[in-house]
Each structure stands twice: as structure tokens, then as C-alpha cells.
Structure 1
């Protein structure tokens, strides 16, 4: 505490420090010190060198001016204003598209441009927009502050966030109800991209992919996107801003490029094959070289020259990719046929000297260089399944000559040789490329489509704003239940905003309070997919009764005077992770009930450990067994003990040592396990096992009791398996939205579970390990449990909730 007091005094008293910014953030930052890179650095500096180094670290983040929004140039008060966000202003694909977006929208709106990093195109942006804001600090809270200032002074009609790399502005824009379109050009190829895609789909009003290929890749890579909608719009041809050079300098550069691409010594019948882009693995320059080698070794290939234009080829300094490319060329013996040229602003001169354009990328959505080459009548060749250009070629009838099999350099070399050997064919294919691309890649059409999407989105954002106010005004939203326990600290209004956005986007949907499922309400009432919010509609409709409401058992009035006798209550413990067993037994002992224990393990050592932990249990241990490692916790319950429990007991609990190998964040698992135990056994709150069993003993209609999980989870990949099993159980209707014991822990009336035990599932019926994260018989049974309980209209399901305990 004293360190923080010293920091506040020392840092904020220094000249040039943005004290107002720091003080406004301080109360939010302190509780999350352990979560942020900034304060990890602060803590490290303090340990190593004391307070003065800490002050400098803090100043580095908070003394920088955000940006100046006072002096706006070329602003027309009679026009509406939009915001275009870019991650940088380099001469690469997305920043060049940003420039063309500005040019396309400038005749309709005032344009503000927000850049997270600078670059050589900044001056070009300024020439065609009202103002360019370069945010020198992308710390999320500072971005939030800046956008709050901007939105409070100007009415931003909508925002276009170009590239997933610009996603950090999306939450702040959403909190201010700015309709936002996020343009995605990147492939979801990396595992670490999962969080990025989740953030984009949650916070953007609409997600627009540039190609079907990139969209499918994202959906295939991230199952959580399955409920999310997106558009596919190919961008138009982009114009690259001309550098601010004299005409003489431009002419000199063009001459230089022409001589490098097609040297004067070359025969007039020589064929130039051009490739372009930053030198990196994704661009497939090694494939480009391999194609060159195959072509040059074949008859007619000796007249071909392969030229690559782009930054990053430096074998002397780059010991990674560039070094190996140079080695590949040297060992292939094709040094005289392959040339690298650095980035240039006059690439049109290279196109003019080119006969064929080879797009060798492994993954490349819609590269501008390929679109430009086609617009200039150059045949473009590419690999199938690597780029949206391949789809375009196929749809345009150019696949035979222009699309090679996936990364098949032999097939590509054959196509190059056919075109290189026939000038009339090259000219014919070039004309087809030009005419087809002229119709397909039209920037005017792209701008019009984006504008139409944005205008429709404006209505949705107005509805979302109204929905947030409706929910906030009623006070019905339970932040302690609905908000993620490990997320950033939010105000109640911000938490509701996130909740509404989740249901509108389909990403990370959660329940607003115990006992209400928005998805069931939405499905049963036939609401539109995205608006209005189901909870807001429920409130405006007078909170009607229906299956969306369900009973909740909590710690209020926790009478435990009518417990069933111990001998009629069984508890199955599946102990796969023995180290977690003490947590279960400690909580169980806080209750009066002493159920008969049925214990299953999968190893002898685990059995010995469990016996040692349970030796002081003052109830009966009826059976312990080493079960096959099949069926996880469900198999032992049904196959090993099921019939004995059904025949001898009225109630059964099912608890297992919860860990999930597929979830790498140990904090998430720890919180989930605590949530389940707190709800089913109790501990820090009240003896929940006693509370549940008293209620079940008193109310014969209760068939199963399980925690009310805040996540609105559905069938996921388990529907087909569940339908097959449901037919055996004579369950005929499975709605899309429902509640179930997420994590497969519960208390149940044995009569309600009898139909499942009566299936007589054998160990061989269960899938072997390792199980997939989703989509197995066990996941299907987990979801079918409440339907099994209620199938005969004799029993109902009840959930539990502990105030302040969530996951």
C-alpha cells in the first residue's frame, strides 16, 4: 500500500505527466495489477531498482499524449461522420485498403482515421480525410479514454475497423454503441489467434471476410464461432498512393525497375514471371523458387526469368528465411534466372514488363498485387485452397490454366510452361483475367455494400442501446452470477453491455440471472436472430411464465430438518485425480448427511490414496473399485454401480475430481471445480448437500438437482449422437436450448435415472481415450440427463445457485 501511495505522489507530481488520465485509471488498474503486462513490469522494476525505476516505467505508459482531438481540419458540420481504424500506415495490403476506404467514403461523410501505429501512408491519409489520429499508446484503458472523448464530442455514425490487428478498439466502440464493421483478411491458422477471433466476433457489430476461404478457415479453426454470422465481400481493386516525389525521380525509379525486371541483354522472346510481397514463409517464396527450378529444367524453360519484388530479402542479415532462400537458389543452380528486388512505389513498371504473375502464397486472402496484375491484363497463376484468387479463377472459368493443385509445384510448372510457350494463349488468358476482375473487384461496389451494411447496423445498435437501458433499469441482472469471475472489472452497465453483445453476436452467451435461460425464451417466442435481446424482450413483455423460467434452490431458508436417512442416499465419487479428493471430503463433512459411498478409480495407487483419505469417514463405504479407463465418470456410475444404486437407494449424488486437459488455464478449471462443489456440497456458504436432499425428500416431483451454470451451452458437436441415444430412450423432442448439469455433477432421484441404467451400457459402448474436447457419447449423455429425468412427466429438474459464486 505504501508503494502505491508513493507512486501516486511521485508520478503525478512530475512535470508533463498526464495526471488526470492516471488518476482516472488508478482505481481500475490497482485491482488487476497481477493481470497486466504494464504492472508486471512495474513490479519487476520495483524489485530490481526501487521506486525511481518504477516511476520511469509508469511515465513511459502514461506521460505520452494520447492524441489531439482539438484541431480538426476539413470538417463539414453539415455531413455525418464516420471513423476508420487501421493498425498501421505501411505500404502493405490492409493499410493500402484503408487508404482506399477513406477515398471511397470521403464523398459521403466526414472521415476520422484512427491509427494504432504510423507509417509512410499517413500523409496520404491526411490528404483525403478530416483528421488522422495516431494513438501513441494502445493500452486498452487509454484507448477507452480517447474514444470516450471522441464520441462525446462527435456523433460517430459508424466505424470500420480494418484488420483483426486493430481489434483492441472494438470493446470501447461497443460500449459507446458505435455501429462497427470489422474487416478480416487474416487466416485463422494459428492457435494463438483464437482469442483474437473471439474478441472480434463478440464486439464487432458485423464481421466481414474478404473471401469464403478465410471465413471457412475461421469457422473450422474455432468451434465457438458456430453461432456467429459473418459476411463475405471481396474488396475492390486498390489504388496505391503515389509517393511525394518529383516526376523526374518517379521516372528514374520506373526505369530502374524495368531494367531489373527485364535486363537489356535478355532476348525479346524471354518470358518474365513476377511474384510480389513481403519475404516471409506465408508468401511461399520457397515454392516460387521451386517452380522456377522445375520450369528452367524443362525444354522452353531457359527463356523464363523469375523476379520477386518485396521487402525482407536479406540473406546476410536474416539467418532465418532469407538465408535458406538464397541457399535454395544457389544449390539449385538457378542464380542467373531468379532476381529479388526491394519494395518499390512504382511496381506498375514491373507489371508492364511482366508476362505472367505467380501467386505462390500458402495462405493469402485477396492480395492487391494479384488483383492489380489481372487489371493490367496479366495471367495470374495460384495454388488451389490457398487464396480467394483461386476461387475467383475457378468461378471465372480460368481454373484449367491458372489454378494448380494445392502446393503442387510440378503442376504449377507445367501450367507456366504452357503459357510461356504460347504468346496468343497468354494474351487470351490475360484478357479474360482483366475482364472478369474488372467486374468482380470493383471498389465502388465494395464501398456501397459496406455503406448499406453499416446503415442496417445502425438500427441494430439503437435497439441494443435500448435493451441495455431496459435491463439496467429493472435491476434484475445479477452481475455476481453472469459476469466472468476472471475478466476485467466492469461497471454494472458495462457488464450488461457485454451480456447484450454476447447474445447479439452469438459469442460467449451467458445467463443474466439464475432461473432464466434467454435462449429458451428466444427459441420459444420466435425472436429474430440478433435483435431484440431476449431478456429485454422478456422484461418489456411483462415477464411471462414459460419453460425459460425454472426453479432455483439457493441458500435462503436453508432448512435441513427433513433429511432422508443415510441408508437411502448413495454418493458416487469418481477419483481420477486423487489430489482433489480432500476438497470433496472436507465439504461433504460439513453436512449432516452421511451417504453411502461408492468409489471408483482407474489405478491401484489411486485406490490406496483414496482409502487413506476416506479412512476417517464416519459413514459407510459400500464399494470401491478399479474401473476401466473408459466412460470417464459416467461409465463407473452407470455400468459399475448403476443397478446396485437403483435397487438399493432413493437418492444418488454424482461427484468427480474435475480437471479438463483441453483447457490449459488452470485458474478456469479451479474456479469451475469450486463452483460445482460449492453448489452441490457447500462449504463456505451452507451445507448444500443437506439443503438439496431435504428439498428432494420433501418434494417428490424433483428428479434432479444441479448447479445453474451461467454459460448458455447447447448441443455443440453432440446433437447427432444424442438423437440416436434419445430414440433408444423414447425421447422424441430435443430443443436447441435447454439446461443441463454442465460438468456432469448432480444429485438425482434414482427412479429418474433408471431409464439410463436400463440401457445396460457395457464398457465397450464407451469411447476409448483420448476423448475429443466435444462430440462423444459421454458429452451427449451429459446433455440428455435432464430430458431423461423429465421424459415421463413425473419428475422435474431444479438448479442451485450460491450468491457470489460463479464461473
Structure 2
């Protein structure tokens, strides 16, 4: 990135003359008060807004420290009251002003070599996303709970595009894992995440509000320094998340329980569109609880030192809070801390370090009030200077910045490796873009897959090509948590994990097989669709259709007259056991003992519990790959059974699906059948449609109906029905056969 251009631009920025507010250009680029040093590396620190709140103040302090080592660019998404303070420690300040972050980043890298882009808050996701797409190293500082992040996909997307992620507390990680369980069915911890409390902020700008004198505070409280009052302080923006109403409730119970006099102070600003509306409720609550004389609101303070100097306890009443600065300030003031378990990241820290604290069950305001009274009115309590010692020992801001600096080096190296792996795999042409599909980032899906794999999230990837299963490779090659399976395969000169037949349309072999086709037709409105597919089967076959309503028999028989079957039999079955039970139990007399060579199993999958017509796409994908849209396709598929070693043919699938919650059910089936148990099921007929050699799956027809049928509704995962879907490859291999997957190019679901 030519040094002449960098130097030229730097000279321009240095010419800006500063007054009380920064003069801006039309581009939103401003010269900082520090000079660009060509001997230093350059970093970008992204702040979502320059307000007097937690994350921006953290960002301001991070910038001050890191600017001692790096050339700092402060990237501001929204300018607020502290904007001028962010100019002090950077050589360049950029205001987004509604412009594309990608456009801004492209402009930056045109002139500067950027070592890393640091996003301070999940709200900076769009900038981190853009930085990653430009090949820049990225770090995300996530302070927010996944519970209130929207859109919900931002959490996973942000983890994917961040080389390193730093959280302030374990409770934030727990919320992220809970979210991934719900949205992606995974409890795997991304390996790029680390936890580090931020420490005590050393600097607060003058613009960060006023500081009331002690005398003024006493006056507001209506007491003097000699008054026999206990003072309890809470702080934060005045909103529901911070638990203003809960603090009022705690105050109510303390007043009821204690015989002593108490004063309660909330320090903070009213922000947001509902602030005035919320305040009405809080004032009403105070009136109903008769607390108007005991409870006051103080405006945001530049420093809490004065209010803390007269306080007896700090109460953090938040419903959800990571590890707020104000708790660290209260610890430094050696105040006992009261809070709810499960509501804040500071709870574990307080417990682990034997802090002077009061902890109550989640949002139990009466319990918290009781414990506060006991703590403050216990004359024998002598735990002095415990909390302030904790701050100096375990919450050093220098320690936090040193940790962040190490992560900068790690992120830079990690990103460099990612780009190298991408380059190598791109050259190898191993990755089939049309098969694997595109991931959740704008980057090519190959790069997306690399990012996931190298963060230990290979279970979120798609398989790279037909015939290669990421999970099967990992199981058979003892990979580490953060490896890229296709990279290892290329290094070993291996291009597949299992046999996959790519349909060519050129095979024209004779089919001399006696074939039975089972169709479980729960949704009879799909009859015409199946008729069109079955017409393409190259030989006469016997068709067995199972339905659940007797009144539909005549309609179904009429619909399937032209499907090409030699014989059609419609059988009424109970609505239990989904598509599998009708075949292995109800059709046992017709199929198991009738000397068929091959059995086809199909069903009217709709998946009504999924969105975007996924069930329809999935069903058609399976039918396109197992029968096709022409007799030539169907002939080619069935001719695979001319190889006597083949016992099972099913559609190739790009998705990474593991054994899930089905191991106990599957191994119970193995014990019933008398075959070895399994640890995983990396490749199986996903969707449970297949062609099978009758002799290879004969054991399924010997299963005891009473043991494996389960009443609906079945869970989303974890049942005998899910286990039966997964057992067929293992079963046919146990019987001496092999399986082959089939794939018709251009199909996807």
C-alpha cells in the first residue's frame, strides 16, 4: 500500500486545525490529534457510538492504551457527546454517517496497511463483516447477551467473521451457546472465543457528565453527614433491562423488613424513545410503595467517587448485564455488592474471589432485600478492603489491554493462515461451489467453510463435494478441533470419503431385478407428483402404498393407475411410526417374504414444522436423485444394483448431520438386531428415502413393533424413528454389503 500515498494523506490530516469541536469534511474523515508514525503498525478501533455509556467508554480507554503502540484509526458509527474525546489518541477519526462500511474500509486500505480491525460491541458487526470480506484480521469485543441481539443470526455471523472474540464474562458465553443450541442445534463452543474481564477504566473525559459534591448529594437526600441512615446506590441507564423497577421493589422490602432508616439512590440518565413513558411507571411504583421520601434519581455522574463515598452498599438490580464498569467502580470503593444470580457476569467473579457480596436468586427482590439488611445490620461483620484489593489484583485495565494486544497478534496470524488455506484450496479445485452452496457471509462459500472449520465449527459447514463427508473424514482421521478436512485430504492425496455415483445420463444397462416400491402417502395431495416420478422406473414393479384414512383408498387407487406399476396395493395403517413403521411392520407379509431383489422406500415428506417450503424442496431433491426426471436417469440409478456388493443406494447430501440425540436409540436397535453399536453416523439416507437390497435390510423386518413404536408427537431429534433413518448404512455393512450415494449435478436443497 504505497508509503507515499500514506504519507501524503497523513500530511493532509495533520493540517486540520482543532477548536472545541472538530471541523469536518464532507467525507466524514477527520484528522486526529496524534501524528501518523510510519514506524508503527496501524489498527482500526470501531465504536458504535461515542456516548457516555459503558462500551464507548471502554473503547475510549482501549484506544488511549493501544495508541501508545499503534497508529490508531477511530471508526465511529454514530457521533454523540464524547466524540471530541475520541480525537485525542488517533491520527484519523472516521464518522460513518450512514455510508457503507465496506466503502469506508476500502478507502482506508487504499492508503494504509491495517493490522487488525477491532469491533467494540456486537453492534459493530457490519464493519467487522466488511473487514473480513476484504481479508482483514478482525477482533470482536462482545459485551451483549445473545438474548437481546437482533437479528438473531448476528451472533453466529459475528463469531464466524471474527478471528478472535473476547467476552467479559462466562455468562455471556453461556447465552451465546444457548442461542446456538436453539438456532443451529449445536452446543459446541467456538474456539476463537476467550473470556477476559475488562478491568477498571483509568480515564473518564470531562464531557462525561457532572459530578455532584458530597454536600449536594446529602442535600438531595435530605440528610446530613451525621444522620443515621444507610445509603444504597444503584446505577445505569433508566430502563427495564437495568432493573430500575426491581431496585424499587428491593427498597420497598428493605423498608418493610428493617427498623433502621435507609435512602436509595439511582444514578443514571433517561435514554431511548420510551424513557419518559417508563419514568411514569417508576414514579407510580414509588408512590404506591410510599418511597417518595426515601428514593431519589440522580443524573449521570462523571465520577461516582462522591456518591460511593457516602454509600453503604451498591445494588446491581439488572436483569441482564455482562460485567458493567459501575460494579468495578463500586468494588474499588470497597462497597459490598448486591445482585441477582444468573443476571450478571460479575456474579461468578464475586463468588470465585470470595468478594464482599450479597447474592439472591434470580430477580427475587424479597430475598435480596433480606440479605442486604442482614449484611448491613450485622455489627459483627468485619470484612474490610476485600473488594478494593480485588480490583488491584484481578481487574487491572493494563492487564486487559495486554491481553487484547496478544489477541491482536493472534488474530493477525490466524487471518493470514486462513487466507493461505483459502488460496491453496482454491488452486486445488477441491471445493464444488454449486454443490456446497453459499454460506452466511458475502465471501465465497469455500472461505466461509474454512472460517467455520478453523474455529471448531465444522459441524456448521456443508460438505465440499459429492462423495466427501466432513464428519466421516474427522471420525476416520482423528482430526483436531480446528482443522479443515478438505485441506488434510488434499495433503494426503485423497479426494473422497465414500463412493458417490454422479449421474451421467449415459448408462444404459439392462435391469433384471424384482422390485418392490413402498410409498407412505400421508399427504394424498402429492399423489400426482409421485405418479410422474414413478412413471420413469424402467421395469415393472410392485407398488405398495400405505395411507392412514380408509376413505382415501379409492382416490389413491385411481390416481396411481398410470404410474407403470405391475401391481398396486393400497394398505390402511395406523398413524404411528411415521414412514418407517408402515414398511417394516405393516408391509412385512408383502415385502419380506416375497423374494424381491430391491426395495424402494419413499414417503410424502412435507416437514410442516419448517419454513420456506423446505420440505417440498427436500422431497423433490430426493426424488430427483433417486429416480430422476427420465427413464434414463432411473435406469442408471437402479443399474448400480447390478453390482452384487451394493446393498444400499441413497441421495448424496451436502449437510453435516451427526448422530444427534439418537445414540441410545440407535445402539438399542443394534443390540436388538445383534450387530456392533456405533459412535457416529456420518453418512446416511437423510430424509429416509432409499433403494435397498432386500437381503441387506432383512433384519429391519424382524424388529419388535412393541419395543420401538413411540407415540406422536415425537421430539425434533432423539427417537427410534430417527435412529432407524440412521442405521441402514451400518446395517447393510454388517451384512457384508456396501452403500453408494447418488448425485444429480445441479440439484440442491
In the alignment, structure 1 residue 311 sits paired with structure 2 residue 272: no
Partner of 1:371: 328
Asked if structure 2 preserves the Cα contact closer than 8 Å seen for 1:315 and 1:322, the reply is no
By how many angstroms is 1:293 displaced?
0.8
* Partner Cα separation in structure 1 for residue 592 and residue 503 of structure 2: 29
Query: Quick one: structure 1 residues 429 and 368, their matched pair in 2 at CA, closer, same or farther if it must change by over 3 Å?
Result: farther
SS where residue 538 of structure 2 aligns?
coil
Aligned counterpart, 1:770: 713
Alignment partner of 1:512 out of 464, 469, 480: 464
Residues matched between the structures, number: 717
Change (3 A) 1:292 1:676: same
Instruction: Provide Cα deviations, 1:453-507, integer angstroms capped at 9, x if missing partner.
Output: 332333332222121111211223211111149x6876xxx23211211222316
Q: Is 1:791 aligned with 2:734?
A: yes
Find 1:120's aligned residue among 81, 85, 100: 81
Report the TM-score when normalising by structure 2.
Answer: 0.88
Structure 1 match to 2:521: 575
**2: CA distance, partners of 1:177 / 1:715:** 35
- Aligned match of 1:613: 559
Q: Which residue of 1 aligns with 2:445?
A: 495
Q: Which of 512, 534, 537 is the equivalent residue of 1:588?
A: 534
- The correspondence for 2:635, drawn from 676, 682, 690, is 690
Alpha carbons of 1:94 and 1:618: their partners in 2 closer, same or farther (altered >3 Å)?
same
1:191 and 1:662 mapped to 2: Cα distance?
Answer: 24
Higher helix share: 1
How far apart are 1:270 and its partner, in Å?
A: 0.8
Q: Tell me how far 1:111 sits from its aligned partner.
A: 2.0
Q: Which residue of 1 aligns with 2:582?
A: 636
Do the aligned partners of residues 488 and 537 (structure 1) sit closer, same or farther apart at CA in structure 2, a change above 3 Å counting? Answer: closer
Maintained 8 Å contact 1:315/1:326? no
Other-structure match for 2:415: 461
* Structure-2 residue corresponding to 1:760: 704
Q: Counterpart in 2 of 1:234? A: 197
Shift of 1:356: 0.9
> Partner residue of 2:376?
420
Give yes or no for contact 2:505–2:632 (8 Å, CA) kept in 1.
Answer: no
Map 1:362-761; keep pairs closer than 5 Å. 362-398=319-355, 401-422=357-378, 425=381, 428-429=382-383, 431-484=385-438, 494-505=444-455, 506=457, 508-531=460-483, 533-541=484-492, 543-544=493-494, 548-565=496-513, 568-604=514-550, 610-611=556-557, 613-620=559-566, 622-642=568-588, 644-648=590-594, 649-663=596-610, 665-683=611-629, 688-696=633-641, 698-732=642-676, 734=678, 736=680, 738-761=682-705
Q: Is the 8 A contact 2:311 2:335 kept in 1?
A: yes
Q: How far is 1:379 from its partner?
A: 0.9
Residue equivalent to 1:327: 284
Relative to structure 1, the CA distance from residue 429 to residue 736 in structure 2 (aligned partners, 3 Å threshold; closer, same or farther) is farther
Deviates more, 1:727-736 or 1:267-276: 727-736
Deviations 1:268-297 (A, max 9, x none): 221111111122222222221111111101
Cα separation, partners in 2 of 1:750 and 1:118, compared to 1, 3 Å: farther
- Which residue matches 1:349? 306
**Secondary structure, in 3 states, of the residue corresponding to 2:686?**
coil
Equivalent residue for 2:18?
none
1:803 to 722, 726, 745: 745
Secondary structure of 1:339's aligned partner: strand
**Take 1:343 and 1:112, find their aligned partners in 2: how far apart are those partners?**
29
Q: Does 1:149 align with 2:107?
A: yes
Match of 2:116 in 1: 158
Question: In structure 1, the residue corresponding to 2:293 is in which secondary structure?
Answer: helix
Query: Structure 1 456/317 Cα, relative in aligned 2: closer, same or farther at 3 Å?
Result: closer
Cα distance in 2 for partners of 1:656, 1:527 equals 37
Residues of 1 paired with 2:30 and 2:274: CA distance? 44
User: Shift of the alpha carbon at 1:152?
Assistant: 4.3
CA–CA distance in 2 between the matches of 1:244 and 1:658?
62
Distance 1:256 1:615, change over 3 A: farther
TM score, norm. by length of structure 1: 0.82
Q: Distance in 2 between matches of 1:202 and 1:739?
A: 25
Alpha carbons 2:534, 2:563 under 8 Å: kept: no
Is the 8 Å Cα contact of residues 314 and 323 (structure 1) preserved in structure 2? no
> Is residue 122–residue 158 contact of structure 2 (8 Å, CA) maintained in 1?
yes
Give unmatched runs, 5+ long, in structure 2.
1-24
Contact 1:519 1:712 (C-alpha < 8 Å) held by counterparts: yes
3-state DSSP of counterpart to 2:241:
helix
The answer on whether the counterparts of 1:383 and 1:408 sit within 8 Å (CA) in structure 2 is yes
Contact 1:576 1:602 in 2 (8 A): yes
CA distance in 2, matches of 1:719, 1:104: 51
Structure 1 unmatched ranges of 5 or more: 1-63
Separation in structure 1 between the aligned mates of residue 697 and residue 253 of structure 2, nearest angstrom: 67
- Deviations along 1:604-663, whole A, 9 cap, x unmatched? 566666445334434256443443333222222223224532322221222222233443
1:18 aligned residue: none
SS of the residue aligned with 1:717? Answer: coil
Deviation string 1:31-74 (CA, Å, 9 cap, x unpaired) is: xxxxxxxxxxxxxxxxxxxxxxxxxxxxxxxxx97754999962
